[in-house]
Amino acid sequence: MNDTSMQESLFEDRTPGAESHNERCSSLEALYEQSRDCARCRLSETRNNFVFGEGNPQAQIVVIGEAPGAEEDLQGRPFVGRSGQLLDKILAAIGFGRTDVFICNIVKCRPPQNRNPQANEIEACRPWLSKQLEIIRPSIILLLGKVAANTILDNKQSMGSMRGRIIQWNGYDVIVTYHPAALLRNPNWKYDCWEDMKMLKAHYDRVCANRHQGTA
Ligand code: URA
């Protein structure tokens, strides 16, 4: 299987009535092809793989982390290391699998030694994320951790002031919670994360009910 057909099977839905889904698959595939050799910043010089993101092109929820780690860089997939295993459990706790949401990062290439992405790297990478959001058009964005939240919301606020509520940003309903890596270091924060996830699920159910009634 060549790279292009592998991407098709990752994103494409062949069930009847899935035209909109397939249009978004095609757009995401085109964006992947356009972005995969990106050399807009120096992270391209040290990466093994450009980690585009993966999941449901029609997802109502896009989950955004900070940057790929070592395992993600090797596999070319987001959140597949220890943090990813915890993220899978967190999503499963509210009834979601990886294919129900779309998972990606603020920057698509691994920063050396897992340092925080620098401002120029974030700026260089931002158009890829913006285009992903334009194509998927989710209702809800879940931001994992302070770096992702401060970057997207363009603020310097603490986690405590951003989490636990729904924030309006660019037409999206944004929920901020702890990054899974932070939860691995500080298990005491899991309680707050669980509260955030329950809020996310309740909001998701409301959004779906409204869409069903044609009011959203
Ligand atoms: N941490 C992130 O922020 N993103 C990943 O993909 C993996 C770990």
Average pLDDT, the chain: 93
The pLDDT score that the predictor gives to residue 1 is 36
Give pLDDT tens digits for 186-197: 999 999 999 999
How remote is the CA of residue 14 from the centroid of ligand 1, in Å?
30
Measuring CA to CA, which residue among 124, 85, 97, 119 is closest to residue 108? 124
- pLDDT tens for 83-135 read 999 999 999 999 999 999 999 999 999 999 999 999 999 999 999 999 999 99
- pLDDT > 80? residue 19: no
**7-18 mean pLDDT:** 55
pLDDT value of residue 4:
46
CA distance linking residue 120 with residue 167, whole number of Å: 26
Pocket test for ligand 1, best of 54, 85, 88, 105 (most atoms within 8 A of CB): 105
Q: How far apart are CA 69 and CA 82, in angstroms?
A: 10
Question: How is residue 55 written in tokens?
Answer: 């999941």
Q: Which of 78-92, 162-176, 202-216 has the lowest mean pLDDT?
A: 202-216
